[in-house]
A and B are shown apart, each in its own frame.
Chain A
Amino acid sequence: MTEPLPTIVLIGHGMVGQRYLEALAERGVTATHRITVLCEEPRPAYDRVHLTSYFSGSTAEDLSMTPAGFMEEHGIALHLDDPAEHIDRAARRVTSRSGQVFPYDVLVLATGSYPFVPPVPGKDAPGCFVYRTIEDLLAIEEYAKDRGSGAVVGGGLLGLEAAGALQGLGLATRIVEFAPRLMPVQVDEGGGAALLRTIESMGLTVHTGVGTQEVVTGEDGHVSGMRLSDGSTVDTDLVVFSAGVRPRDQLARDCGLDVGERGGIAVDARCRTSDAHVYAIGECALAVDGRVYGLVAPGYEMAETAADDLLGREKEFTGADLSTKLKLLGVDVASFGDAHGATPDSLDVVWSDSRSGVYKKLVVSPDGVLLGGVLVGDADSYGLLRPLTGSVPPVAPEQLVLPAGVGAPVALGPSALPDHAVICSCHNVTKKAIAACDTLAEVKKCTKAGTGCGSCVKVIGQLLPAATDKGLCGCFPFTRAELYEIVRTRRLTSYEEILDGHGRPEARGGDGCEVCKPTVGSIIASLAPTLGASGYVLDGEQAALQDTNDHFLANMQRNGSYSVVPRIPGGEITPDKLIVIGEVARDFGLYTKITGGQRIDLFGASVDQLPRIWARLVDAGFESGHAYGKALRTVKSCVGQTWCRYGVQDSVRMAIDLELRYRGLRAPHKLKSAVSGCARECAEAQSKDFGVIATASGWNLYVGGNGGATPRHADLLAQDLSDAELVRLIDRFLMFYIRTADRLERTSTWLERLEGGLDHLRDVVVHDSLGLCAELEALMADHVAHYRDEWAETLQDPERLRRFVSFVNAPGAPDPTVKFVPERDQVKPDLAVLTIGGPVR
């Protein structure tokens, strides 16, 4: 008989709870124990630290912290929406709200904290919120619709974040803080003053040194304003309380575990409570140093400590630092170590520039050890300074705070850090561990560094081996984006000129290669009207640059035959046109297939048949579908409002308009798009490079999605756009992508690589932060105005048509090696089955 496995019950599936499960899995404990998790929220653990990013387009899924399949793989039973209600320590059982009873050998409490709401009259009125869970955000977002103003009670880290979120929802926002400055816990007076200026310059109203006396309600009982301790009253439509958090220790209190005077489940250095069978970790725990930590890094360390203790390993949690970096867009604030100079005899080194709102303070001991600091307005050096805390910096402290150029001769780089310096405090990863990796992806995978708050990512980047040659290929030392700029600014239209003038010395005068030729061809083609080059891709020297597919305006298939793909914008086609396609296919013996992009592909044409086939298609009103080029393929659509009972906009018309606008646009990679008529998403717009989904009040634009080998859901770039706004944003997005992406880089990888990611993209194309938008729009306008159908032009030019022969010395003869055999009433290539990769003997 086998013994039943010992059972661990975890209460609370927040950030720390999930980290504890991972720590168990890493130590093999999941194989030797049964593990049950009780989770109060309706969803598994998610990234609370980045909660606010939900308002800038992240979805609940993006925030998830639970790797897909993790629970199943490790045999962990997760009970969502079923909080623990009662602990019976004598019988070692937990009862949940649904009435289930869970016996345990080890119990772990990771219940986090709850937002503290000061007991002011009116605090429960509709319109009052707290800021802790995804559900809180959803409720705030819903309530904020059609409302104009909001107020945040509390000017700490979280309050500022909540205020940023309210402003992002379009509310006129004020912050009410009881203390005499913002972020009183993290920054000192000077820092608070600099912070205040920056926040006010962002358009927020700040009241410091006043308390909230009452939430005032209107006739309908909803929030209408607040009365403050200075006697004034301010109007506001909603109130978010962010006045601190309190540990959730009620369960522990009820079952008689020791708790601190001011709350928190008391634990020892191994995170054990007063009952040896029960641990407490994260924000609900009162650590041995008498503190309740409201940050994620110490919580993670407690999770590791508790997991180690289970295995009898020595690890102690005796305290952690309170370093933080504010993630609010536009405000750079960080504090670390002994920010307030509480250490006896400590000295301050301060740099303050009130014009630019920069305030930097370092706290050092008399013998030069860096103890901590505050950075406001420019927190770039945070990633470097924090790991230096506790050691004597290699340069004088004033050089660390002075701006570059002002008596700061040596820039301190991460190379100055000792090997044991902790670079990522969320996951306690040292410089040495990071230096053992080659790429950021590897660092994240092997050490988890950079996957917490993210403030260390910049320094990690500097520690990795400098990416070697970024050049496009053996011929050019430049990236595609750099080449694009060279071609654009120097108005170059000749490949030879570009290669001889800007290629690597050894490549000049040569023939280039199969990598840079099509790349340059594509750059010239996408800039053609602007450069004054011929827009026709097969003219002159351009012809030699095109990939073979562009060269024949058709896609080469595996036996050397070609496919013919007429454009069917939005997938809408008349019966007459359908019949023409059918007749052409029948007359030339082509295989026909309806594709995923809502077109009809005709396969099996030989080179010499292409002009005759296209002559008939062009006659019937078809255009090239650009199935060959790195260009816009299709804009798929659902039937939309016209036919569908759910539709809220005319998705077909929009899809046709977009497809016709961007047809023929040369890009670093092929582009796909779709338009859905409502949120049911029948056109699968979220798997496209740019996808559009109709809402009752306009269009939502998603970007950076793709199907294919590494599918990625698109990100929401902007909401409720009018027709004109939608088109303008797509114009900008596409041109910005074309300008800055690498060769063969899809929008999805481009977006993931883009520094600053979606936020940066939104800044550039929505808020015009680089002042580029007029230029991007003009480039697109040029493209649209100069579009001509490549096949129609080719057919009119006997010179161009001469290329479409199988043999130069026997123009009439078809290629005898292109053969077909029947299959399912159509044809397929007659080729020996080939092993791809090895030569055919």
Chain B
Amino acid sequence: MTVELQVAQGWLTVCELSSLIPGRGVAALLPDGSQAAVFVDRAGRPYAIGNQDPFTGAHVLSRGLVGTAGGRPFVASPLLKQRFDLESGRCLDDEETVVRTYPVRTAVTS
């Protein structure tokens, strides 16, 4: 099983699902030079959002801790700990802030 992310050029293979630790993330370098943070939750579902922390400018969201709030998964930024919903990209601690999300899927390795 691999994890794939949708970018302008189509589905981009990021890594093997088995190389992701449930509850933690990794960063992926995208063709346009931007970065995505890719996570897998306890149930094995993958998520992908932008890697840049909008509060500090650093590209670090992939290194935050994953949790569940109100039944939905989020990641807490490792710098100042704001939480971002992994499905919508919305910041749970500041209504006006949203990070981008990427469609993501797992695919059977051919």
Contact = CB atoms under 8 A, between A and B. Distances in A.
Interface of A: 474-475, 496, 506-507, 509-514, 517-518, 543-545, 547-549, 551-552, 556, 558-560, 802, 806-810, 813, 815-818, 831-832, 834, 836-840
A556, A807, A836: most-surrounded residue (chain B CB, <10 A): A807
Given A510-B68, A558-B79, A809 B59 contact: no
A558 B56 contact: yes
B78 A806 contact: no
Nearest to A559: B58
Given A544-B24, A808-B19, A839-B54, A556 B60 contact: yes
**Chain A binding surface, main DSSP class:** loop
Given A514-B64, A558-B79, A817-B35, A839 B28 contact: no
Given A556-B78, A807-B26, 14 more contacts: A475-B67, A510-B42, A511-B42, A512-B68, A513-B65, A514-B64, A517-B67, A544-B66, A548-B60, A558-B79, A560-B59, A808-B38, A810-B29, A832-B57
For the complex of A and B, the 7 pairs showing the least CB-CB separation, nearest first, are A510-B68, A544-B23, A513-B67, A548-B78, A514-B76, A808-B26, A839-B54
B57 A548 contact: no
A806 B27 contact: yes
A510 B71 CA distance: 7
A514 B83 contact: yes
A804 to B, nearest CB: 11
A496 B67 CA distance: 12
Nearest to B24: A544
Given A511-B73, A556-B60, A834-B57, A543 B24 contact: yes
A511 B54 CA distance: 24
B57 A556 contact: no
7 contacts: A514-B65, A543-B21, A544-B21, A559-B57, A807-B35, A831-B57, A837-B55
A176 to B, nearest CB: 64
Contact of B58 (A474, A558, A813, A838): A558
Interface in B30-69: 33, 35, 38, 41-42, 52, 54-60, 63-69
Given A510-B42, A510-B68, A552 B55 contact: no
B63 A551 contact: yes
B19 A551 contact: no
B27 A548 contact: no
Contacts of B19: 802, 808
A834 B41 CA distance: 31
Interface of B: 12-15, 19, 21-24, 26-29, 33, 35, 38, 41-42, 52, 54-60, 63-69, 71, 73, 76, 78-81, 83, 91, 94, 96-97
Contact of B56 (A806, A807, A840): A840
Contacts of B52: 817
A840 B73 CA distance: 24
Nearest to B39: A511
Contacts of A816: 33
A809 B63 contact: no
A510 B29 CA distance: 29
Contacts of A806: 27, 29
A807 B29 contact: yes
A474, A517, A547, A560: most-surrounded residue (chain B CB, <10 A): A560
A514 B25 CA distance: 14
B12, B41, B63: most-surrounded residue (chain A CB, <10 A): B63
Contacts of A543: 21, 24
A808 B15 contact: yes
Nearest to B58: A560
A839 B80 CA distance: 11
A556 B94 contact: no
B71 to A, nearest CB: 7
B58 to A, nearest CB: 4
Contacts of A510: 42, 67-68, 71
Nearest to A514: B76
B66 A511 contact: yes
Contacts of A551: 24, 63
A517 B15 contact: no
Contact of B27 (A556, A808, A839): A808
A839 B12 CA distance: 29
Contacts of A544: 21-24, 65-66
